[in-house]
A = this chain, B = another copy of it.
Amino acid sequence: MTRSLGIDIGGTKIASAVLDHDGTVMDVETTPTARGGDLILEQIAAIVDGFAGKYDLPGIGIAVPGDVNPITGIIRSAPNIGWTDLDIVEHVRALLPAEAAVRVDNDANAAAWAEYRFGGHPRTDSFAMITVGTGLGGGFVINGRLLRGATGAAGEIGHLALVPGGDSCPCGSRGCWERYASGSALQRASVAAGWDNPTAGQDVLSAAGTHPAAHQVVEGVARDLTRGILLLSSALDPSLVILGGGLGSDRRFLAIAQEALAGAEVTPPRSRPQLRTAVLGPLAGAIGAADLSLEPADQKTEPEASRTGTNSADKVHLSGIIPQVPNYA
């Protein structure tokens, strides 16, 4: 029976899940993330070793919070865990029998895939997941396939320029969406509104149902979230947007975000996506990575090399026809 292992490497925890071919989670394990890239590699080796003793593992998927190329298997940068230009796939493959498939993906993409596949959400061919936690991330499933983009960076929407010339972001840019719509943004807005303590954001969220001033703070963040969602809708027209992450999957926040989306001016009038919360919680990344490790090779984004070639289709043949077309500017 086909089983695969997903390992989701977060800044504070590593969550691992063994997945059966039908989406049944057979086993899970979580462990605090070690400090230092090399120590984390040792943790991965121990996790793989432990599960490989119990299960046949034809596929292993790794989910990483950072800039990942799923084709080459290279993690270009994952600042939270101290990796730069690391060939994680080679590293993990060395631990395994030669025929095992090893894949790596961005954690938000892996989580989006898990929710799409196993979240029990309404069926759709245009699915977006937005992870609203400390920061903001996302992943899209289009026509049944994870959208990775040319370099694996599709869905990295946290630094989308929501407000040109807006608030400074540690990334060096200004007006990034995650400065306005994230758990950190809620925390900052709460402190600014006078909730003067280390858990201000959570307190404000708890108070939002009964305390108008708290509701207003949450509403501000929800409005900035839905402004970005409407930007994405202009491009992708998803029918469904799943909110994940600590803040996004909170039902109190969902209700306020749904109100904000329903109240947003949308012109020209177009349909608004349905908003729902994620259901797989902190296991989503591991589940998605496990499932993606077994996807057929043709589902991957195109290799860098082929992008310099030409399309397989011939150029259209217009000779002898164009002269019949009058006066096109």
Contact = CB atoms under 8 A, between A and B. Distances in A.
Interface of A: 15, 22-28, 30, 67, 77, 114, 116-126, 138, 140, 142-143, 145, 147-157, 159-164, 169, 171-173, 227, 230-240, 246, 265, 267-268, 270-271, 273, 279-283, 287, 301-302, 306-318, 321, 324-326, 328-329
Give the residue among A15, A149, A173 with the most B Cβ atoms within 10 A: A149
A322 to B, nearest CB: 8
A317 B273 contact: no
Contact of A151 (B160, B232, B270, B301): B270
Contacts of A159: 234, 267-268
A236 B149 contact: yes
Contacts of A162: 164
A69 to B, nearest CB: 10
A28 B142 CA distance: 34
Contacts of A234: 156-157, 159-161
A124 B123 CA distance: 27
B118 A316 contact: yes
Nearest to A133: B329
A30 B310 contact: no
Given A237-B148, A246-B329, A308 B161 contact: no
A129 B118 CA distance: 33
9 contacts: A30-B325, A117-B311, A122-B309, A143-B143, A143-B145, A156-B234, A173-B265, A232-B235, A283-B325
Contacts of A24: 316-317
Contact of A311 (B121, B154, B232, B310): B121
A123 B160 contact: no
Copies in the complex: 2
Nearest to A145: B143
Nearest to A148: B237
Given A67-B268, A280-B316, A126 B150 contact: yes
A159 B316 CA distance: 31
B313 A117 contact: yes
Contacts of A154: 126, 235-237
B321 A25 contact: yes
Give the residue among A126, A159, A282 with the most B Cβ atoms within 10 A: A126
B235 A150 contact: no
Given A159-B267, A172-B267, 4 more contacts: A23-B315, A126-B150, A155-B235, A160-B235
A51 to B, nearest CB: 14
Contact of A140 (B161, B169, B235): B235
Contacts of A265: 172-173
A34 B150 CA distance: 43
Contacts of A151: 237, 239, 270-271
Contact of A273 (B148, B150, B280, B326): B150
Contacts of A145: 142-143
